[in-house]
Structure 1
Amino acid sequence: MHVSNVIRWLGMLAVIGGVFRLSMTPLELVWGVDSTIALIIGGVTGSVFIIIGTAGIYLYQAGKAGILGFIGFLITTVGNILVCTMVMISLFVNTALKDPQILEQELPGPVVPIRLIMIITLNLGYILFGIATLRAKMLPRWGGALMILLVLMTFIPYTDYLFAVVWGLFHIGLGWAVWSRSKGSENKVKLTQ
């Protein structure tokens, strides 16, 4: 298998993750904020595909994104892993509300510090990764701009429902660009001989 094919398929996983993340908004409009369905589909499933797919977005532009892109990618990945963790905690709380006896057992770890680290890593990672994407000029510039906008939205009131939409959109757009542009790549390197 060629490295370009791996990067291409990672781009498709970013698209799938973006679709799942974007779907969180309509799911929450139908079933309510933090509904189990929205958290499983948009939160956990979206996060898993985004975590894996972001590697394709980074690898596609790695040569031009430089160290800033690599650091942004790593920090963003940690942030997305923590998002997935927090969503799973929310699912646990939803379950506990339906079955309060679950809370009688010992609960692991502190949630507040995890949430704080999640916010810091996600925001810092997307700012750095967004800037690196803009500077690399290999993928649509609007995707890098939306990464930065996502961070700014945390400070803009009344943008809660648009947050998952923006998050999903830039993963869909950048992932699709990787998928479609990697198709006939000239630099095919074999992973196995």
Structure 2
Amino acid sequence: MKTNPLTSVIDRKTHTNPLSETRSENSKMRITATNLIRWSGLAALAAGILFIIIQTIHPADILSSVTTGRWAIVHYLSITMCLLGLLGIAGIYARQVEKAGWLGLAGYLLFSLFYALTMGFQFIEAFISPLLSTEAPKLVESLLALAGGSAGEMSLGVLPAIYSLVGVLYILGGPLFGIATFRAGILPRWAAALFASAGPVSALVIALLPHPLDRIAAVPLGLGLAWLGYALWSERRGNPI
């Protein structure tokens, strides 16, 4: 019996090889360095947006705020922001590591340490300060005073020095990393310039405006980080950003 050639062609098209389909699915799901770097861009995008939002909804740094739901939300978000920031900044650096040089490495290390130390302080404010607000109000008030750059009634040992170090890391790390990113020319230069401006802008704003008005200094860095993150996440290798 003769077979219909047209039927044979249709059968070959409709009955695909299950093994080839599995290989295709595995190739799409495969974890690669390129995919990890790309997804770290999404983390940077989220961290930049959260950094700006947190400044706009942060309650006053006073004892009565510590036990409120708003205080808890802000500091839970801050911990999340720091974690996402660590992932995002690592991906941005990895994308341009060959061109960022020693300047990029220095900026990356400084800014990563900024996020790590900030996460520790945010953890204290989120989980420890509310528990001590009734039993040790003077201690909590002294912790709150750190944000305004003043000393509380109780001695906090080395904590004020570490808190000051966080500010130094922010002011130095941002410009170094931003300049290295600008020079590398892989990610958008305007975003890198915005990121690099955060340190000098913060130093100027802190000198001119009292706390908490100085929180507006977070906007340039937040925008720059979000922009860099979006560019990294939306990048298609082989196509310039």
Q: TM-score, normalised by structure 2?
A: 0.66
How has the CA–CA distance of structure 1 residues 161 and 141 changed in structure 2, closer, same or farther, with 3 Å as cutoff? same
User: In the alignment, residue 86 of structure 2 is paired with which amino acid?
Assistant: I
Deviations 1:63-113 (A, max 9, x none): 21112111210111011111111222333334422x32596xxx9963112
User: In the alignment, residue 113 of structure 1 is paired with which amino acid?
Assistant: A
For 1:8, which of 23, 38, 51 is the aligned residue? Answer: 38
Uncovered stretches (5+) of structure 1, i.e. residues with no partner: 187-193
User: In the alignment, residue 176 of structure 2 is paired with which amino acid?
Assistant: L
Secondary structure in 2 aligned to 1:26?
helix
User: In the alignment, residue 11 of structure 1 is paired with which amino acid?
Assistant: G
**Structure 2 match to 1:60:** 95
Query: Percent identical across equivalent pairs?
Result: 31
Between structure 1 and structure 2, the one with the greater Rg is: 2
Displacement of 1:174 after TM fit?
0.3
Structure 1 Cα separation of the partners of residues 172 and 215 of structure 2: 21
For 1:127, which of 146, 170, 175 is the aligned residue? Answer: 175
Displacement of 1:154 after TM fit?
2.5
Displacement of 1:180 after TM fit?
0.9
User: In the alignment, residue 232 of structure 2 is paired with which amino acid?
Assistant: V
User: In the alignment, residue 32 of structure 2 is paired with which amino acid?
Assistant: H
For 2:72, which of 15, 21, 36 is the aligned residue? Answer: 36
Structure 1 Cα separation of the partners of residues 215 and 172 of structure 2: 21
Structure 1 Cα separation of the partners of residues 104 and 156 of structure 2: 34
How many residue pairs were aligned? Answer: 176
Structure 1 Cα separation of the partners of residues 104 and 113 of structure 2: 14
Q: TM-score, normalised by structure 1?
A: 0.80
**Structure 1 match to 2:105:** 70
User: In the alignment, residue 136 of structure 1 is paired with which amino acid?
Assistant: A
- Whether 2:171 is the aligned partner of 1:144: answer no
1:78–1:122 contact (8 Å) kept in structure 2: no
